[in-house]
Amino acid sequence: MKIYSWNVNGIRAIKKKGFLEWMEEENPDILCIQETKAHKEQLDESLLNIEGYEAFFCSGERKGYSGVAVYTKLEPITVKTGIGIERFDSEGRILILEYEEFTLLNIYFPNGQKDDERLKYKLEFYDAILAYCDGLKEMGKKLVICGDYNTAHKEIDLKNPKTNEKRSGFLPIERAWIDKFISHGYIDTFRTLYLEEVKYSWWSYRFNARKNNAGWRIDYHFVSDNLFEKVKDAKILNEVMGSDHCPVTLELDL
């Protein structure tokens, strides 16, 4: 089973860049999208009903902002938007699909660069997600937690670590939360399989960053430790264009 995750930076924009053709070619079992920047009623039939897939959407109160979606070939048992905390759920950042063999969380984590208040919101969002995941794991659930985490974990995960030490996305307090997440039994699949491979999943639109591969790895598939034995592979498809992010993939032996 192949699960893809991609921050598309606008689902309507990426449709014009060959998204539907890419989808047909790649043929993922599940595709998780972040930053749709659209409400469901703003999408045309070609995005609402991709042949072979059922689609689920979660949008924020603010139009043209945030939003997540899942296209799935597998029929989920349940679908949930949010984690039951209004201040986080209102931005349309979380879709949770329960399947027979695992629970999938598609999350667009907040960006903390705007100001201190937004950084505080991001860190509180992180902790709320950790508590929610821990609750599911205590119930015996096996978890896939994918999406745009908006934080690079280690120096290997971005081109210029020294110059970004004081920038949200690579602050010590943000990186420490990923350490905490891992200590609670969640595994960064790509980095665990490829300890020393340098690959990025996001590049600024400025300074020819993508052309120069001056990027950050901020898109992840984490799995709970009780699912890791089923992980076959994890990849970063950094040759795929269309967004300032590229897709990341997880292959499970299910």
Helix (H) or strand (E) holding 54: strand 54-58
Q: Which of 92, 103, 85, 118 is nearest to 11 (CA)?
A: 92
User: Which residues lie closer than 8 Å to 193 by C-beta, 6 or more apart?
Assistant: 231, 233, 234
DSSP for 183-205? HTTEEEHHHHH-TT----SEE-S
CA distances from 121 to 25, 87, 91, 127, 150 (A): 38, 9, 12, 10, 13
Residue 219 designated active-site = no
Read off the DSSP letter of residue 177: H
* Beta partners for residue 188, in sequence order: 222
Distance (Å, rounded) from C-alpha 35 to C-alpha 148? 9
CA distances from 61 to 48, 56, 66, 68, 92 (A): 20, 17, 9, 13, 7
Q: Are 217 and 152 within 8 A, CB to CB?
A: yes
Catalytic residue selected from 29, 127, 148, 157: 148
Active site residues: 148
